[in-house]
Amino acid sequence: MPTPHNSAVKGDFAKTVLMPGDPLRAKFIAETFLENPRLVNNVRGVQGYTGSYRGAPVSVMASGMGMPSIGIYSYELFTQYDVDNIIRVGSAGEIQKELTLGDVVAGMGACTNSNYAAQYGLGGTFAPIADFALLSAAVQSAKELGVNMPVGNLYSSDTFYDASASSLKWAEMGVLAIEMEAAALYCNAAYTKKRGLSICSISDNIVTGEELSPEQRQTSFTAMMKIALETAVKMAAL
């Protein structure tokens, strides 16, 4: 049944959902890559579409920005709409010098400054990680597409403007890039016994300040999108 944030009904979403942050990017993916896309949600302008890609049912829906937002939408998709796989497709800021603008990275794990996992009362520190089957399918898809996709840790930050400038210290621990959603997605996937993965395109360099334009962020991340779509096809075949 519909939720306060989603007007779709059960069956409107495919088993695999691609989840960009930006509603306009969700619209772009649906109209560019999906066959016969139909709008299944537009509550608060958070657009969700379902169609097919190379014969496999696929949905795409925006998450909004930050862990509280993706926490709501991914939890509802997992628990109310029988979604099994959510692949976040978004932007990230590089903190490793070997990465360049437009590169695609996959988050095997997600470090964070968030207390999102405190809700579980674990009495320790939970390590949010991607689902291995999704990650393996994405790595295989990237190879087939000829895309070099580094795999490693992301850093999910609750703060876009960081007063302490501490984010760069995560580079010393080998973290690839900074984003704002993966840790919450991985927590929700673990808690609901579902699958989550974050694939990100590098949109800016945290060290130098170099960045893509908003228009480029919205429409130019085609390699990331194709990897996610091919991953969805592989998951549908399982």
The pLDDT tens digits of the residues spanning 171-206 come to 999 999 999 999 999 999 999 999 999 999 999 998
Note the pLDDT of residue 160: 87
Nearest to 48 by CA among 68, 25, 67: 25
Tell me the pairing of strands 177-179 and 151-156.
parallel
Cα distance between residue 232 and residue 183, in whole Å: 21
Considering the entire predicted model, what is its pTM? 0.95
CA within 13 Å, CB half, 229: 21
- Give pLDDT, residue 133: 98
Residues 6+ apart with CB under 8 A from 62: 19, 20, 21, 22, 23, 25, 26, 46, 47, 48, 73
Q: Is 82 a catalytic residue?
A: no
Q: Is the pLDDT of residue 24 over 70?
A: yes
Residue with tokens 């989550």: 196
Average pLDDT over residues 34-62: 96
Lowest pLDDT segment from 88-92, 138-142, 204-208, 230-234: 204-208
What the chain holds in terms of domains, given with CATH numbers, is 16-236 (3.40.50.1580)
In tens, the pLDDT along 151-161 reads: 999 999 999 88
Task: State in Å, rounded, how far the first CA of the chain is from the last one.
Answer: 27
